[in-house]
């Protein structure tokens, strides 16, 4: 195993593999170490239309410019034709195009998502080909600490088990704080027997709700909404949603900072109540008018001062119920043009990685070399 190539692999779905991977690169950079990043095979979200998400996130705020990954369709073609060795040759070629000589390389493995049953098989092949040390990325996902321990141990078994020399440890993502007078989930997990061997807990990353808040612009794009008043659509973030179909008196408590208000477009009482809240410096994220109704010019003029305070107002053709249902399929991934959120996620994760472990790579930065033996896949 070479300690200057680290490959992140998930223990299951929904662990935040990409965020942790790009955060590891940032952690290396923060310690003044030379870093490189490589994503072997892309796994785009169905709504993605631009460049690879991982490589783009790494490039933002960094001098790195990783090679584009192999497309998923191309990788599947190799697998279908039983040409795994040829696929690994392509992986090595792109790997060498991505790395800086003498750097520590973070390789992001494939995530476990529906429709990709070959993810673990490919991760094993890539790790062996690149002679990478394996870092498992995990998250509680409603498991108790002892249940998560077993989960991690089973996942490590796919790569030779926690006793294998190239299985370094795991990073716990989305961990939860402890209540008053009690230890946090991460602190309890760190005491589990799995970490009393040569397998380390390399970081505890607390869940941060703030880092999950999309911009109003993202909601507007998703709903294909018409913009009635742009306001601070680029900078305001959505912390919560409320569907206002009640009388104004019964919905006033819902008008709080960060809330996105859905209401039928003909509910002038709700529109005016939201405008009054904005005039009282309650930073409601946005008002979305449903049903295709457009507010009259007179009403907009009456609410003009509230609009001038930055309140975005949007309109959609679907009714309130349909719009709320549509929001359930909203893509929670960070848009690549949301540079502020990407930087904050990278910094948040980098702060939570074990700095002693990161600094251990300072003496191990040397250019990689390969031999044909690396292409023999068991």
CATH code for the domain of 292: 3.40.1390.20
Same domain, 190 and 304: no
The pLDDT score that the predictor gives to residue 308 is 92
Q: Across the chain, what does the average pLDDT equal? A: 89
Same domain, 207 and 219: no
Q: Are strands 259-264 and 167-175 parallel, antiparallel or unpaired?
A: unpaired
Cα-Cα-Cα-Cα dihedral sign, residues 346, 349, 352, 356: negative
Residues 187-220 pLDDT 10s: 899 999 999 778 999 999 999 999 999 999 999 9
Contact 43, 59 (CB under 8 A): no
CA dist 39 and 67 (Å) reads: 8
CA dist 127 and 134 (Å) reads: 7
The pLDDT score that the predictor gives to residue 285 is 96
Q: Is the pLDDT of residue 364 over 80?
A: no
Same domain, 146 and 164: yes
Same domain, 186 and 255: no
CA dist 121 and 273 (Å) reads: 56
Same domain, 120 and 264: no
Residues 6+ apart with CB under 8 A from 56: 50, 336
pTM for this one?
A: 0.86
pLDDT (mean) for 224-233: 95
pLDDT (mean) for 153-180: 89
Q: How far is CA 289 from the centre of its chain?
A: 30
CA dist 330 and 46 (Å) reads: 11
Q: Which two tokens stand for residue 131?
A: 């002679």
Same domain, 196 and 252: no
Same domain, 166 and 42: yes
Q: Which two tokens stand for residue 113?
A: 């998502």
The domain of 250 spans 215-329
pLDDT (mean) for 223-252: 90
Same domain, 187 and 239: no
Same domain, 309 and 207: no
Distances (CA, A) of 310 to 154, 282, 288: 51, 11, 14
Q: Which two tokens stand for residue 351?
A: 């702060």
Contact 248, 269 (CB under 8 A): yes
Tally of domains in the chain: 2
CA dist 166 and 155 (Å) reads: 14
Question: pLDDT tier at 363 (50, 70, 90 boundaries)?
Answer: low
Instruction: Please report which helix (H) or strand (E) contains residue 268, including its range.
Output: helix 268-279
Instruction: State the CATH number of the domain containing residue 82.
Output: 3.40.50.300
Same domain, 219 and 342: no
Same domain, 207 and 220: no
Same domain, 95 and 240: no
Phi, psi of 300 (to 5 degrees): -65, -35
Q: Is the pLDDT of residue 368 over 80?
A: no
The pLDDT score that the predictor gives to residue 246 is 76
**Helix 339-351 × helix 17-30 angle, to 10°:** 70
CA dist 107 and 125 (Å) reads: 13
Please name which of 248, 290, 283, 136 lies closest in space to residue 200, comparing C-alpha atoms. 136
Residues 258-315 pLDDT 10s: 999 999 998 999 999 999 999 999 999 999 999 998 888 899 899 889 889 999 999 9
Of 313, 329, 345, the residue at which a domain comes to its end is 329
Phi, psi of 201 (to 5 degrees): -90, 110
Question: pLDDT tier at 228 (50, 70, 90 boundaries)?
Answer: very high
Residues 38-69 pLDDT 10s: 999 998 876 666 688 899 999 988 888 888 99
């Amino acid at each position: 195993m070479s300690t200057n190539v680290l490959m992140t692999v998930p223990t299951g779905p929904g662990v935040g593999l990409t965020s942790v991977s790009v955060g590891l690169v940032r952690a290396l950079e923060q310690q003044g170490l030379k870093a490189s990043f490589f994503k072997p095979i892309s796994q785009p979200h169905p709504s993605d239309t631009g460049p690879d998400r991982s490589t783009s996130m790494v490039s933002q705020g960094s001098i790195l410019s990783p090679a584009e990954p192999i497309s998923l369709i191309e990788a599947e073609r190799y697998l279908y034709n039983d040409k795994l060795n040829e696929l690994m040759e392509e992986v090595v070629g792109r790997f060498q195009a991505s790395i800086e000589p003498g750097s520590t390389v973070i390789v992001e493995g494939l995530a476990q998502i529906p429709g990709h049953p070959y993810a673990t098989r490919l991760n094993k092949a890539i790790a062996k080909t690149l002679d990478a040390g394996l870092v498992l990325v995990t998250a509680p996902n409603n498991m108790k600490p002892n249940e998560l321990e077993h989960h991690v141990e089973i996942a490590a078994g796919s790569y030779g088990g926690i006793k294998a020399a190239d299985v370094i440890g795991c990073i716990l993502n989305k961990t939860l704080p402890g209540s008053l007078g009690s230890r946090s989930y991460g602190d309890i997990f760190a005491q589990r027997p799995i970490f009393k061997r040569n397998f380390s807990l390399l970081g505890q990353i607390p869940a941060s709700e703030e880092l999950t808040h999309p911009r109003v612009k993202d909601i507007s794009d998703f709903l294909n909404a018409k913009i009635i008043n742009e306001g601070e659509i680029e900078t305001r973030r959505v912390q919560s949603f409320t569907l206002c179909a009640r009388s104004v008196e019964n919905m006033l408590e819902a008008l709080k900072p960060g809330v996105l208000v859905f209401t039928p477009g003909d509910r002038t009482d709700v529109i005016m109540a939201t405008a009054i809240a904005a005039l009282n410096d309650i930073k409601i994220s946005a008002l979305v008018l449903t049903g295709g109704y457009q507010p009259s010019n007179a009403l907009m003029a009456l609410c003009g001062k509230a609009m001038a305070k930055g309140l975005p107002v949007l309109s959609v053709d679907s009714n309130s119920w349909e719009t709320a249902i549509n929001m359930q399929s909203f893509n929670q991934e960070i848009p690549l043009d949301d540079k502020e959120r990407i930087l904050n996620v990278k910094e948040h994760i980098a702060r939570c990685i074990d700095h002693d472990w990161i600094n251990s790579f300072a003496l191990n930065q040397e250019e990689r070399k390969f031999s044909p033996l690396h292409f023999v896949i068991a």
